[in-house]
Structure 1
Amino acid sequence: MQSSNLRLIQVFLAALILFVPFLGAVHLFDWDEINFAECAREMIVTKNYLRMQIDYQPFFEKPPLFIWLQVLSMKLFGINEFAARFPNALAGMVTFGFLFSAGRKLVNDSFGVLWVTLYAATWLPHFYFKTGIIDPVFNLFIFLAFYQVFCLRIQAAKWKHMLLAGLFLGLAVLTKGPVAILVSALSFGVYIVLNRGLNGYSWKHLLGIATVALLVTSVWFGVEWLQNGPTFIKEFLSYQAGLFSQNIADHEEPWYYHPIVLLIGCFPASVFLFQYSLRKRPVVSSEPALAWGQWMWILFWVVLILFSIVKTKIVHYSSLCYYPLTYLAARQIFRIMQNPPSVKAGVKALFIFLGTLWGIVLTALPLVGIYKDRLIPLIKDPFAVGNLQADVPWNYWECIPGIIYLLAIWLIGWTWKTRFSRSLTFLMILQVASIQYTMLHFVPKIEAYSQRAAIEFYEDKAGKDVYIDVVGFHSYAYLFYAKKMPVQNPGYYDREWLMHGHTDRPVYFVCKIQNADPYRKDPDLRELYEKNGFVFFTRNLSQ
């Protein structure tokens, strides 16, 4: 027990070291990161903590729990990038602690450590805890609810697990909305079909979970209804339905989008799913572990199929798959380590292929920056061409980590057959180091290309008595980085008034280069300059 507790402390410390340092080293990315941070900032400015706002207008897309966490963080650390991302760093610490605790209860301490390590060594799961988007917290609550439902069947103190399952499900709804109920209901429906009945669950416990979840969500939804009527609820539900039935914000992708995202983005864990064989019984064969494995397969396929069907497809929509994917992969790795079968030839080939792909990307990024002048004539997108004109320094030595990664992947694949455990340890170290290096070195440079010119413009206008607006594209960055305060003149929300009316203060507009020509021809606008794909205009104070 003392050894397990010590390992749990070590897991928390490892998560702290991986996720907290350098959280504020790069600007928040448009849209989602800045969107939620701006909601939190406007809550603080207006002191209205019940309703979400963007540009001080009602924001109907999300419930408030994650925004509240960001507000608390901003109260501690100030309104900045670090504070906006800190709740997810905490979620990462809780996640790692939970994975270890669940893993050791299902199998043993070694399996708990393996599950945590694999999660940390997988690209997208690791990356998401260093962002300011909602999904890491939402996924954690959903997964905790699933685990409590699982415990409800196999453990005593059933009322405790029922209450906790309802609590976590309710918190998930308060974080992202009714998609939590949809995923849970579909998953339990599949469970019933596969097991030809409730299989150890009772309707009174399921009703209890639903009741507790309803009470938790009423903490905000009910108060919102009583205070402001049903408007928010109607608009919110309408938006959620639109995500499933329509292409929102040009995020329509083919049905195989999420399988590819998981296969490549969840390397190396995704590779080990293909090690499964229906003819071989896993070493992890205790009844709880096998039952939990069934739940993990159900959750994985429900999330993957559901978000492959919906019209709107964004990378993080399938991020709930990270939990079952890493567990199932860890189980296969554990089987190989405990009773070594040979790694399938197809698995080895896929590992080398995907690892090589990542190595090529890491090696090619500096080369793209160095040889961008040769690439620009081949690019048809004017905005991408403008982005590449940013002055971002690159050197040939920055290719070395990518080359090392490539060589290491091939070495690991070559030695798997005879030294699997040692090669696996080397792989975990390689992955964690590569992910950290990418976050600290490459992500700031990518941000410099994609948006920094615009953000520097907004920051220059912070605290000044001016209006700023974006035209021809969607953004939240001008609100957060210009530190926009509530506007008293209702004309501000009229684009025609801003462009051609008698404004009471100077007005600035930002657009992307491909949309600039109509504004360049407008006699009421004056172009200030063009930089890295953005064009900046102004209107002088009307007389």
Structure 2
Amino acid sequence: MPRIPSRLIPLLLILAGALFYFPFLGRVHLFDWDEINFAESAREMIVSGNYTRVQINFQPFWEKPPLFFWLQVLSMKVFGIGEFAARFPNAVVGVVTLLVLYSLGKKLVDKRFGLLWALAYFGSLTPHLYFKSGIIDPTFNLFIFLSVWCMARAVSAYGTSTATRQAVFSGLFVGLAVLTKGPVGGLLLGLTFLVYWAWQRFRPVLRLGNALAAFGCALAVASVWFGLELIKNGFWFFEEFFRYQVRLFSTPDAGHQQPFYYHFVVVLLGCFPMSLLAIRGFFPGGRAVRLDWNSPAADFKSAAANLPDSKSERAEDPAALFRRWMIILFWVVMILFSIVRTKIVHYSSMAWFPVSYLAATVLYQYVNGRLSWNRWLTVGIALIGGVLALLITALPLAGMHSADLIPLIKDRFAAANLTAPVDWQGWEWIIGTAYGLAIIGILWFRSQQPIRSMVALFLATPLLLWFVLPTIVPKIERYTQGAVIDFYEAKQGQDIYVEPIGYKSYAHLFYFRKKPPTNLNSYNEDWLINGPVDKPVFFVTRNINIDQYRYHPNLEIIGEEAGFVFLRRKPAFKGVE
């Protein structure tokens, strides 16, 4: 790799984040459900002035704690309510994540390893993409990763004052994770620690006082909100909150019943290209090169000396010890969320951190000439990279010939989506083709320029996304939800009711800018359809659901576009139009 002065590397990472994470955040509407759901909760905090209660549709929302919504509120206070503000916190977290990975990698091995670690995360598909989203997981994952890092250091410093300090920091980050997404934050660290302890044959690895310090700190931080809710509203809110957590683990949400191996496929394909390198990192030869134990960079060098009866670990370097934590964390995440009945892409995103670490160990060995390149890596990169390139090439071509595809699609709603008026320029397919040619070139010159080829490999995907997000994604979004969001935005400021019927959505809340209801009957769908409504009601449904409403005497179809059907119900008394 090019020699870069250490003092410039953090600035280089900040610049990379600024150039790739922040542009185009507001170029496309928020996507239903999660992005709109979370942004709407933040908006309702601002509208209602209640920043302690998480709400959706101005009713208690017990699925998530408020920390991420608070970050979105701060962003909306600065940038205004909109897509850019909703996604801005994760872009900041993206820059922080790159700096964290570099800093920890530098302490663990050296600055080259730290830079490769940051590069692996920066240059992989879904890890990069999610920092440009408005969902909770990038922020939550960073807190969990830092809690595992601090716990690993606490265990390594067994019996010293450092262990206590690191245990407290671990508890701090767990508490922040719980405030971000709930009890699963504590569960991930707890399971990872228990597996590590079992790996050590249940020998003492953390003193009871340190464990209590970590737990107490986590509880104190989480109580900033949970304790306040308990004091203000009693136990009913917690009963609903924990009932939802249990239901999420035990019952599949509609549309999210996936096979057991689902998350393994998601990580393999979504974390391209670092996922392929990480596979090699699971084997002993994939370890990062050992450190000189006299080096001041080895923060974990006290581990073998302080772990009781750990003679077998005295020869292990800090990177090898931390590698063990990363492997355990990976399997804890993958097995836990494979067991969970509801399976969504980002549920396994915590595994991206250990995957990036394992990929970095392989990269480090490879660029230092200590590990040979395997032919299956070439095949894997060519296969997955080629499929991705073909997909990005095919999407614009399919869009430009959407009329020819409609007769081939059996789903009436999906077929109608393709009738949306979308203006393709005709050159967008070049982006995917250029990416495919870049993958071929990287693999072709890999043997002559191994270091430059690896750097190019992990820069190719961010460059791909940099062009895809402002040019192709907005057009795809026009097919999937553009018509309905246009409808909601056109109704902003009107004294009416607007509701979807026949399917679940949060888009009407955010894009209609719904105000706190003055008539609680409006929460009742039957009242809106059949009751004595006091103002006009507009409904949105999908063409596959319209038959149950088409001949209803109170409903009038006023339009249909791209699979969405718009209906109106006039108020029950005269004088209101």
TM-score normalised to structure 1 length: 0.97
Contact 1:342 1:417 in 2 (8 A): no
What is the SS of the residue equivalent to 2:102? helix
What is the SS of the residue equivalent to 1:402? helix
CA distance in structure 1 between the aligned counterparts of 2:491 and 2:114, rounded to whole angstroms: 50
Of the three residues 17, 24, 49, the one matched with 1:15 is 17
Deviations 1:307-365 (A, max 9, x none): 11110000000100111101100110110111254311122211111111111111111
Of the three residues 306, 311, 323, the one matched with 1:293 is 323
* Percent identical residues: 47
Partner of 2:560: 530
Contact 1:283 1:339 in 2 (8 A): no
Select between 428-437 and 35-44 the one with higher mean Cα deviation: 428-437
Of the three residues 263, 272, 278, the one matched with 1:267 is 272
CA distance in structure 2 between the aligned counterparts of 1:65 and 1:210, rounded to whole angstroms: 19
Q: Does 1:489 find its partner at 2:494?
A: no
Partner of 2:104: 102
Deviations 1:353-393 (A, max 9, x none): 11111111111111110121221111111111111111112
Of the three residues 470, 481, 484, the one matched with 1:454 is 484
Contact 1:366 1:395 in 2 (8 A): no
Of the three residues 63, 86, 89, the one matched with 1:87 is 89
Select between 13-22 and 480-489 the one with higher mean Cα deviation: 13-22
Partner of 2:6: 4
Contact 1:275 1:347 in 2 (8 A): no
CA distance in structure 2 between the aligned counterparts of 1:281 and 1:71, rounded to whole angstroms: 43
CA distance 1:384–1:277, change in 2 (3 Å): closer
CA distance in structure 2 between the aligned counterparts of 1:198 and 1:460, rounded to whole angstroms: 65
What is the SS of the residue equivalent to 2:509? helix
Quick one: which amino acid aligns to residue 115 of structure 1? W
Q: Does 1:466 find its partner at 2:496?
A: yes
Quick one: which amino acid aligns to residue 361 of structure 2? R
What is the SS of the residue equivalent to 1:132? coil
Please give the root-mean-square deviation of Cα atoms over the aligned residues, in Å. Answer: 1.5
Partner of 1:369: 399
Quick one: which amino acid aligns to residue 62 of structure 1? K
What is the SS of the residue equivalent to 1:61? coil
Deviations 1:32-77 (A, max 9, x none): 0010111111111111111111111111111111111111111111
Partner of 2:250: 245
Partner of 1:309: 339
Structure 1: gaps of 5 or more residues? none
CA distance in structure 2 between the aligned counterparts of 1:150 and 1:301, rounded to whole angstroms: 16
Q: 1:506-517, aligned counterparts within 5 Å?
A: 506-517=536-547
Deviations 1:254-295 (A, max 9, x none): 111111111111100011123347463634223211111111
CA distance in structure 2 between the aligned counterparts of 1:207 and 1:198, rounded to whole angstroms: 18
What is the SS of the residue equivalent to 2:146? helix
Partner of 1:211: 216
CA distance in structure 2 between the aligned counterparts of 1:64 and 1:26, rounded to whole angstroms: 25
Of the three residues 193, 206, 214, the one matched with 2:198 is 193
Structure 2: gaps of 5 or more residues? 292-316
Partner of 1:116: 118
Q: 1:408-423, aligned counterparts within 5 Å?
A: 408-423=438-453
Partner of 1:154: 156
Deviations 1:369-418 (A, max 9, x none): 01212211111111111111111122442211211211221222233233
Of the three residues 364, 384, 407, the one matched with 1:334 is 364
Partner of 1:131: 133
CA distance in structure 2 between the aligned counterparts of 1:61 and 1:469, rounded to whole angstroms: 22
CA distance in structure 1 between the aligned counterparts of 2:571 and 2:495, rounded to whole angstroms: 11
CA distance 1:206–1:5, change in 2 (3 Å): farther
Partner of 1:77: 79
CA distance 1:497–1:342, change in 2 (3 Å): same
Select between 246-255 and 261-270 the one with higher mean Cα deviation: 246-255
Select between 146-155 and 131-140 the one with higher mean Cα deviation: 146-155
Partner of 2:207: 202
CA distance 1:84–1:277, change in 2 (3 Å): closer
Contact 1:263 1:270 in 2 (8 A): yes
Q: Does 1:386 find its partner at 2:388?
A: no
What is the SS of the residue equivalent to 2:23? coil
What is the SS of the residue equivalent to 1:243? helix
The alpha carbon displacement at 1:17 in A equals 2.0
Contact 1:104 1:112 in 2 (8 A): yes
TM-score normalised to structure 2 length: 0.91
The alpha carbon displacement at 1:199 in A equals 5.6
CA distance in structure 1 between the aligned counterparts of 2:183 and 2:397, rounded to whole angstroms: 45
Select between 140-149 and 335-344 the one with higher mean Cα deviation: 335-344
In terms of fraction of residues, the more helix-rich structure is 1
